[in-house]
Each structure stands twice: as structure tokens, then as C-alpha cells.
Amino acid sequence: MRTQLELNVRRKGAMRGILTLGSLDPAFAAAQGVEGEMALLDLRGVEFVEPAGLCGLAALLEFLIPRSRLVGLRFSGHDVAAYLERMDFFRIFGHRIETNVDVAALEERRRGNPGTLQELISFHSEEEIPEIINRISEILTNKGYGLRERAAICATLSEICANAVEHGHSPFGAYAAVQAYQHIVSGGRERGRGEEVLVAIADGGVGIRETLSRNSEYAEHTASDNDALRHALKMGVSGTGEIGRGGGLAVVGQIAARAGGSLSLRSSSGRVTFYGDRTNSRNVPTFPGTFVRVSLPRKAADDQLPSASKN
């Protein structure tokens, strides 16, 4: 007996073939019903994996592997598998899953292949974060990113990484992925023009609503997952309620909005995206933990002057 997990990857349009977190929704929904049988994840419609898709896939596998006898991944062709190999995906998951591609051959091909910003990062504690940030900062410097941009990207990443390992025990710690693109990957009007840095982080902890529920002050803000996510974006809202806490996510939201990007939070059945001037929410299949995605569009050099700063 086996369960086939389908994806919702677009077949046409701007998002065609892209593995996003949203495209994993049907698989997350189906994964809830897996009880020991083999689970087969069909990635054949995937042509391109963005960081949120990569982190989402890692979180899905961490959820599935303990619940199924065997997890299989099905790819069409070699491109996506080769990309995942470059992202260190098979180093982390190769021995825990079964695939229809020869991973050893991918490893062989990988040598000397540049062109990626950062492999999939697996981490478990706050102590690991400064080293991760150092590495990303170095890569960004080598790619010609200026100090202001690096500061925005790295401060965002470190803040969200710290949240991921701080709030409640996650059996697998957390995964982070960062990529820089020569085009805009996220949907919307600006799609296709300009450059974009995408940051995604997933943990398997108790989730935002549960964390905020520990603080009885927030009772009226934790009635639903989306209420809790919207509240978590506000300055000074934290599970402990200690003064000074709960500022990180609010600052990250401001950084993303100022860059013309967005901050998306997903936890349990909630999903909230913050754009600065508006916040969208909707209900989604349960995500077993917390997921954060930050889009930082990269503007032309002229736009990097302090005119874009606060006030």
C-alpha cells in the first residue's frame, strides 16, 4: 500500500513549473493521513525550485519520514534533481528517501559548479547563526552587494533564524534557504523585471499561535491562526511578553516593505503576507511548524541612496 502525494504546480502562466510553498499544500494535506505506508511525492511537474519550495520540501519530508515506511521522490529528467544536489538536499535527505534518479551521478557532475548563493542550511541552535550570517555576508560581498543591501538581507535572515530555534522544540531544528535571482521570482506586477533575493526558513516547532497563547495578554489575538500571525507582526508582541522582546519580526517586515518586497508567515492553518501598506491573510492546509519567507527585490544602484530610509 502506498499514498501518492500530489503537488499543485502551475502548468502555465508566470508561475509555471515553480515549486513554491503553496504548491506543496496538497502534499501537506495528504501527509496528515499517512500512517506507516509508503509515501510517493510526485515532483515531475517541477521545473524550478525557489527557496520557499526548498525549505517547504525539507519540512514536508521531516514530517513524512517518521510517519511512513519509505518516502519516494519522483523527478522528470535531471535538472531539478541536479539543482537539489547542488543545494545539498541529497546530503541531508539522500539516505532517508528513495528516488528515481542516480544521486551518485549527480554528485559527480556537481564539481566546480558555481551559480548558487547558498545551499540548504540545517541548524539547531542560536549559536550556529553568526557563522551562517558570516558565510552569507561573504557570498553577497563577492557577488557585489553593497553594505546596505547585505545588512538588510543578513539582519533579516539572522532574526528569523533566531525565532525558528527559539520558540519551542522542533524535532529537526530548522531549515533555511537563500537565493539571489537576476529576475523577480515572486508574483505581482513587478514580475520579471529587476532582481530579487529570497529568504525562506522553516521549523517544526509548536507554531506562532501556540507560542503567543502562552501569554494570556494575547487571548483575544489568538482566536485563529491568522489572528495570531497578524498580531505577531506587531512591535513588541512575543510569547514571553518581556519588554524588548518581539521586535525582530516587526523590523524585518519594515525592511522588506522598504525594499518593495514582502514578509510571509505561515503557521498551522494560517498564512499572512505583509507588504507594508497592506496585509493579506488566508486559510491554508496545516503547516506543521512555522514558515517564513522574505522577498527583497533588488533595486538599481541609484535607488540605494538614503532617500529610501525611514521616516
**Cα 31-37-43 angle, rounded to 5 deg:** 50
Question: Does residue number 118 form part of the binding site for other proteins (CB under 8 A)?
Answer: no
Contact between 179 and 197 under an 8 Å Cβ cutoff? The reply is: yes
Residues near other proteins (CB under 8 A), total: 30
Q: Give the nearest distance from C-beta 49 to other proteins in angstroms.
A: 27
**What track of x and - describes contact with other proteins for positions 271 through 310 (by CB under 8 A)?**
--------------------------------------xx
Does residue 162 belong to the site contacting other proteins (CB under 8 A)?
A: yes
Picking from 30, 31, 29, 7, the residue whose alpha carbon sits closest to that of residue 19 is: 7
Residue from 133, 190, 215, 241 in contact with other proteins (CB under 8 A): 133
117 contributes a contact to other proteins by CB under 8 A: no
The stretches of 44-102 forming alpha helices (DSSP H) are 51-64, 79-86, 89-93
* Least distance CB 248 / other proteins (angstroms): 4
State the minimum distance, in angstroms, from the CB of residue 75 to other proteins. Answer: 36
The gap between the terminal CA atoms of the chain, to the nearest Å, is 60
Q: Does 65 bind other proteins (CB under 8 A)?
A: no
Under 8 Å between Cβ of 185 and 293 = no
Helix axes 103-110, 79-86, angle to 10 degrees: 60
Which of 14, 104, 105, 147 is close enough to bind other proteins by CB under 8 A? 147
Q: Which residue has the cell 531544528?
A: 173
Least CB distance to other proteins at residue 234 (A): 11
Q: Which three cell numbers stand for residue 119?
A: 545551499
> Quick check: 15 and 7 in contact, CB under 8 A?
no
* Among 249, 276, 266, CA closest to 53: 266
50 touches 185 (CB < 8 A) = yes
Interaction between residue 158 and other proteins (CB under 8 A): yes
The one-character DSSP state at 308 is G
Considering only residues 1, 35, 114, 127, which one is a binding residue for other proteins as defined by CB under 8 A? 127
Asked whether 193 and 14 are in contact (CB, 8 A), the reply is no
Nearer of residues 150 and 298 to other proteins, judged by Cβ: 150
Please tell me the number of Cα atoms within 13 Å of 297 on its side-chain side.
22
Range in contact with other proteins (rule: CB under 8 A) among 1-9, 193-201, 245-253, 278-286: 245-253
Under the binding rule (CB under 8 A), the answer on residue 159 touching other proteins is: yes
User: Which residue lies nearer to other proteins by CB, 40 or 151?
Assistant: 151
Chain positions 175 to 234 lying near other proteins, rule: CB under 8 A, are none
Residue 280: CB minimum distance to other proteins, A:
24
Q: Give CA–CA dist 6/153, Å, rounded.
A: 33
Residue nearer to other proteins on the CB measure, 108 or 131: 131
* Min separation Cβ 311 and other proteins, Å: 10
The residues binding other proteins (CB under 8 A) are: 126-127, 129-130, 133-134, 137, 147-148, 150-152, 154-155, 158-159, 162, 235-236, 243-245, 247-248, 250-252, 254, 309-310
